[in-house]
A and B are shown apart, each in its own frame.
Chain A
Amino acid sequence: MSAPSETFLGFPAFPEAAHDAVRDRELRRTMRHATHTIRDKRARAVAELADWDELRTAGAQLKERTLRHLPHYLEQLEEAVTRAGGTVHWAADAAEANRIVAELVRETGEQEVVKVKSMATQEIGLNEALAAEDITAYETDLAELIVQLGRDRPSHILVPAIHRDRRQIQEIFRERMADWGRTAPENLTDDPVQLAEAARLHLREKFLNARVAVSGANFMIAETGTMVVVESEGNGRMCLTLPDTLITVAGIEKVVPTWRDLEVFLQTLPRSSTAERMNPYTSTWTGTTDGDGPRAFHLVLLDNGRTDTLADQVGRQALRCIRCSACLNVCPVYERTGGHAYGSVYPGPIGAVLTPQLHGIQSEVGASLPYASSLCGACYDVCPVAIDIPEVLVHLRERIAEQGGKGHRLEKAAVNAAGWVLNHPRALEVGERLASLTRRLQPKRLPGPGAAQWTRSRDLPELPARSFRAWWKENR
């Protein structure tokens, strides 16, 4: 098991973080608006395709089959990348991946890199690791830029600054842009067009000066060793083509066998993530090409808990994830807490199944995330690769309950006691009768960890004078 990203170290378990988040009115308003907007747009974009269910099944099966033969495709990929002039590095965990990237940058003699938005590098805390080596990483995705300038943490997989409204973004640009490069234009308003233009001018300098770029990959095609990055802003295209050296960090589960497999994912990913029929920029590159683009290409293949995840027959389906974030946008829990409450680089439903598997269930955060769901099933419905997130959540709860620890001993005793009663209907009947007889003595607000959590915000139903069981006996 690997250590979680530095970015989120020391964060409280989900219920404590959520306690404050649900009381943040501004956050609630912003999140409600943002998630409902994208949720509705996605539903319309998906409804346009008559064969959505088939695409979803195909995507799930393609990923499932590839994961089953992962070693084969990874070796095929390595061979193809090497043949095309790239260099493949294998990183068992975050520390090794960071060490490899830092070393590669140092070899170029550069002290600055530009970055394409990437979850894998978030996951390993690459920016912080590079900073420790005196290398500055500049995020070039608009939302990542907002997060970086605001000394903030991402709260969404696709829209990391989803918790910010445009007034806050205006403030961040005006106060912080100068520290990182080109100053924000004078009289910058909170008009989205002006904000985008300010970011464009600020980032242009970075693109033109950068000699080294770091990216992730949405897909890696094993048959040709081709990397695929799917994006909306064009910053990716700049980073992938202008610098001399390109370093790509990608999880080993991102491999797909053939170009043809993209037929499925390039339909399902944009519609699920940004609700677009097709994303504006799809960049593909294969090793290096003389006189065109980077002259050196390095691929860092990241495990960081993925092999452990693969060993879990129920949990491994989480590795199908293509990071579309449709599950975040539709999740009623995520909508009310925002992403920071998850204390994890991957928030929302997918984070609740991915983070505990990648980083383990020993930490307080890891052990709390699988319970951060009402199991409403909305995430499974929208997942373009049919990850049964509720199934994995319940499975992880089982692993956590077996592990024991805080609160679980008492819980287990209660479950066992209830189990006995429920397997003895006579005892249940007596219990129900006792409860009914004493119902006037029962307080409205109960003590004890479980019951108090209920009665703090909700009345308890008053118990009936007789159970159904008793009524049946008397009347039928």
Chain B
Amino acid sequence: MRIALFVTCVNDAAFPSAGIATVRLLERLGCQVDFPPAQTCCGQPQYNTGYRKATEPLVHRMAEAFDGYDHIVAPSGSCAAMVRDNYPRMGRRAAAEGRGEALNRAAEALVPRMYELTEFLVDVLGRTEVGAYFPHSVTYHPSCHGLRLLRLGDRPHRLLEAVEGLELRELPNAEECCGFGGTFAVKNADVSTAMGIDKVKSAVGTGAEVLCGADNSCLMHLGGILRRHDQPQRPLHLAEILAATREEPLDPYVPDPYVPAEPTRTPRADTRPDQPPRSSTA
């Protein structure tokens, strides 16, 4: 079984820990993981902002980069959904515009092999217990594309519930969007922030030490709000929690080793985790 990691551009450039955790987790579960270096970005931001044709070369790049692998695993529901939901749509549009079947073929080659991490763990490997250890309270935000496009359902919850020592706290209004939405976050920053603050209030209200998600783009937005409001709750990608073991534990109170000297991301002892952030917009 040849497995390729599609790390996604956001994780590659800004959150390598999620990619490293995915590699460690999959290797621990007996998989041989490869990282095809020709991969870059699925093109979601461009596509969703209205630049469909400018995105097309990236579809071909993805198809070539991941050619020959049995499974492609992405630690991002949003990017996996871009490939599975929008690539075929782009292929159909190109064909309808009389520009041939090449894009359709590239999309078809990728779609059946593209998995979001929790899908791959639960559906392909048949694992919900992955030998993880994380003795902390966690609340999980199911990002929209994982929830409504990939229909991940309870896969993330089953994986988290099986983690030794982990206390899963239910997030109120979990299915509601966090307000990131790609370029929406800057084109409609006021609404995006209002949504993010509501989400952060719900998350902080659970009293959980960690806000877990399967999409670092959403966590970047929510983490940015948490930090702006001096909230100690730590945003962590699901892969990082699942990669943690008794032998190689992950301490949410210690900064990310791949982001050295990062004082503000470490929880401060003097802020209570159950205190919702103040906000000017809500």
Enumerate chain A interface residues (CB-CB to B < 8 A).
14-15, 18-19, 22-23, 25, 28, 313-314, 332-333, 336-337, 371-378, 380-381, 391, 394, 396-402, 411-412, 415-416, 418-419, 421-423, 425, 428, 432, 435, 449-451, 453-454, 456-472, 476
A457 touches B189 (CB 8 A): yes
Which 3 A-B pairs have CB atoms at the shortest separation, nearest pair first? A374-B181, A458-B224, A397-B50
A374 touches B144 (CB 8 A): yes
Residue of B nearest to A436 (CB): B13
> Cβ of B228: which chain A residues have Cβ within 8 Å of it?
457-459
B188 touches A18 (CB 8 A): yes
Residue of B nearest to A423 (CB): B57
A422 touches B41 (CB 8 A): yes
- Which of A378, A398, A453, A454 contacts B148 (CB under 8 A)? A378
Q: How far is the CB of A402 from chain B (nearest CB, A)?
A: 8
Residue of A nearest to B199 (CB): A332
Q: How far is the CB of B230 from chain A (nearest CB, A)?
A: 10
> Cβ of A460: which chain B residues have Cβ within 8 Å of it?
224
B190 touches A374 (CB 8 A): no
Given A401-B49, A461-B223, CB of A336 within 8 Å of CB of B191 = yes
A459 to B220, CA, bound (A): 9
A375 to B262, CA, bound (A): 32
From B14-22, B108-116, B163-171, B241-249, the one touching the partner chain is B14-22
Residue of A nearest to B180 (CB): A374
- Which of B37, B46, B282 contacts A419 (CB under 8 A)? B46
B50 touches A401 (CB 8 A): yes
B145 on interface, CB distance cutoff 8 Å: yes
B9 on interface, CB distance cutoff 8 Å: yes
B46 touches A372 (CB 8 A): no
B184 on interface, CB distance cutoff 8 Å: yes
B39 on interface, CB distance cutoff 8 Å: yes
18 contacts between A and B (CB under 8 A): A18-B188, A28-B282, A314-B93, A374-B180, A376-B144, A376-B176, A377-B149, A391-B89, A399-B50, A411-B49, A419-B57, A428-B9, A451-B186, A459-B264, A461-B15, A463-B13, A463-B259, A471-B258
A454 touches B186 (CB 8 A): yes
B51 touches A412 (CB 8 A): yes
A400 touches B180 (CB 8 A): no
- Which of A15, A378, A411, A459 contacts B188 (CB under 8 A)? A15
A398 touches B41 (CB 8 A): no
A432 to B41, CA, bound (A): 13
- Which of A372, A450, A465 contacts B186 (CB under 8 A)? A450
B16 touches A332 (CB 8 A): no
A394 to B43, CA, bound (A): 13
- Which of A14, A336, A423 contacts B194 (CB under 8 A)? A336
> Cβ of A416: which chain B residues have Cβ within 8 Å of it?
54
- Which of A22, A380, A435, A476 contacts B23 (CB under 8 A)? A476
> Cβ of A391: which chain B residues have Cβ within 8 Å of it?
89
> Cβ of A401: which chain B residues have Cβ within 8 Å of it?
49-51
Q: How far is the CB of B86 from chain A (nearest CB, A)?
A: 8
A23 to B191, CA, bound (A): 10
Given A313-B96, A376-B148, A401-B49, CB of A462 within 8 Å of CB of B265 = yes
Residue among A23, A419, A465 with most chain B CB within 10 A: A419
Q: How far is the CB of A411 from chain B (nearest CB, A)?
A: 7
A371 touches B149 (CB 8 A): no
A23 touches B50 (CB 8 A): no
A456 to B149, CA, bound (A): 30
A377 touches B145 (CB 8 A): yes
> Cβ of A468: which chain B residues have Cβ within 8 Å of it?
7, 11-13, 16, 19-20, 35
List residues 11-69 of chain B with CB under 8 A from any CB of chain A: 11-17, 19-20, 23, 35, 37-41, 43, 46-52, 54-55, 57-58, 61
A372 to B61, CA, bound (A): 31
B14 touches A458 (CB 8 A): no
B224 touches A22 (CB 8 A): no
Q: How far is the CB of A71 from chain B (nearest CB, A)?
A: 23
Known: A400-B50, A401-B51. 12 other contacts (CB 8 A): A15-B190, A22-B282, A332-B176, A374-B182, A396-B50, A453-B185, A453-B189, A458-B224, A461-B15, A462-B262, A467-B13, A468-B20
Residue among B7, B51, B144, B145 with most chain A CB within 10 A: B51
> Cβ of B225: which chain A residues have Cβ within 8 Å of it?
457-459
> Cβ of A394: which chain B residues have Cβ within 8 Å of it?
47-48, 50, 52
A36 to B231, CA, bound (A): 27
> Cβ of A22: which chain B residues have Cβ within 8 Å of it?
190-191, 193-194, 281-282
Residue of A nearest to B220 (CB): A461
A21 to B141, CA, bound (A): 26
A459 touches B186 (CB 8 A): no
Q: How far is the CB of B213 from chain A (nearest CB, A)?
A: 14
A460 to B223, CA, bound (A): 9
- Which of A373, A377, A428, A464 contacts B15 (CB under 8 A)? A464
A18 to B194, CA, bound (A): 10
Given A415-B46, A422-B40, A458-B225, CB of A332 within 8 Å of CB of B179 = yes
B121 on interface, CB distance cutoff 8 Å: no
> Cβ of B58: which chain A residues have Cβ within 8 Å of it?
419, 422-423
Given A336-B191, A459-B224, CB of A423 within 8 Å of CB of B40 = yes
A354 to B14, CA, bound (A): 38
B192 on interface, CB distance cutoff 8 Å: yes
Given A381-B148, A422-B41, A422-B58, CB of A458 within 8 Å of CB of B258 = no
A391 to B116, CA, bound (A): 21
Q: How far is the CB of A379 from chain B (nearest CB, A)?
A: 10
> Cβ of A454: which chain B residues have Cβ within 8 Å of it?
185-186, 189, 224
- Which of A371, A380, A467 contacts B184 (CB under 8 A)? A371
- Which of A381, A425, A467 contacts B16 (CB under 8 A)? A467
> Cβ of A476: which chain B residues have Cβ within 8 Å of it?
23, 35
A402 to B54, CA, bound (A): 12
> Cβ of B195: which chain A residues have Cβ within 8 Å of it?
332-333, 336, 374
B273 on interface, CB distance cutoff 8 Å: no
A374 touches B49 (CB 8 A): no
> Cβ of A461: which chain B residues have Cβ within 8 Å of it?
14-15, 220, 223-224, 259
> Cβ of B179: which chain A residues have Cβ within 8 Å of it?
332, 374
B258 touches A465 (CB 8 A): yes
Given A376-B144, A457-B225, A458-B221, CB of A432 within 8 Å of CB of B13 = yes
